[in-house]
Amino acid sequence: MSLKVPPLSEALAKAEAKLSGVLGGECRITVHHEFPDGLARMVEGIENRKFRQELQYNLKELVERSKKKGFTVILFTLNGEPFAFDLGYNDVVENTYFGDSAATLIERKGVGAVLTALDALYSWEAGYKAVKMITEDQDEAGRKLVEYWGRFGFHVTKRDLKVGVEMRLDLTPENVKALCDRYID
């Protein structure tokens, strides 16, 4: 088996084709490092629908995050309408990308898995050694989130009653390629 990790541009095109087929419309996936008002509002709109109030970021909090080093948003649209995003930036731990928020309005169709595979591939290509995120065992809707992230190779690194469950994915060519092969190809 070749261990060649695909370029992000190639994976984006494949992911668009895959999700366009699955979702029955024109899916576009774009990567951004700036946060114009329109884009921030799109992310806020998805955030507000998918997270309970205490976990939602408002526009000001989102814009604050956009000033962090390494700030990146991957945005998915279907027929021009935003429906999923992944947002992150440099973690305090060197060479680590902090995946701060991710959500999809269309669930259980493979969108979350594509988001995660693209997030890992983006981070790998940008030179990070790991992706870190904070989640909870189960959310208010019954989604088993530690289990969900575990299926992509994230492992628990810390548990804190106030902060939540910290998880980490080590970025190796094997891990990143396996995610692309399984969820994008």
Ligand X SMILES: CC(C)(COP(=O)(O)OP(=O)(O)OC[C@H]1O[C@@H](n2cnc3c(N)ncnc32)[C@H](O)[C@@H]1OP(=O)(O)O)[C@@H](O)C(=O)NCCC(=O)NCCS
Which chain residues interact with ligand X by CB under 6 A? 50-51, 102-104, 107-113, 135, 139, 143-145, 148, 151
Which residue, 28 or 143, has its beta carbon nearer to ligand X? Answer: 143
**Can you tell me the distance from the alpha carbon of 167 to that of 173, in angstroms, rounded to the nearest whole number?**
19
| Helical residues (DSSP H) of the chain, grouped into ranges | 8-23, 37-50, 59-65, 111-125, 145-150, 173-183
Least distance to ligand X from the beta carbon of 43, Å?
A: 12
Which residue, 69 or 108, has its beta carbon nearer to ligand X? Answer: 108
Which residue, 139 or 170, has its beta carbon nearer to ligand X? Answer: 139
Least distance to ligand X from the beta carbon of 122, Å?
A: 16
CB 97 within 8 A of CB 69: no
Least distance to ligand X from the beta carbon of 159, Å?
A: 14
Least distance to ligand X from the beta carbon of 44, Å?
A: 14
**Can you tell me the distance from the alpha carbon of 64 to that of 73, in angstroms, rounded to the nearest whole number?**
14
Give the residue nearest to ligand X (CB).
112
Which residue, 127 or 184, has its beta carbon nearer to ligand X? Answer: 184
**Can you tell me the distance from the alpha carbon of 15 to that of 122, in angstroms, rounded to the nearest whole number?**
13
**Can you tell me the distance from the alpha carbon of 148 to that of 69, in angstroms, rounded to the nearest whole number?**
28
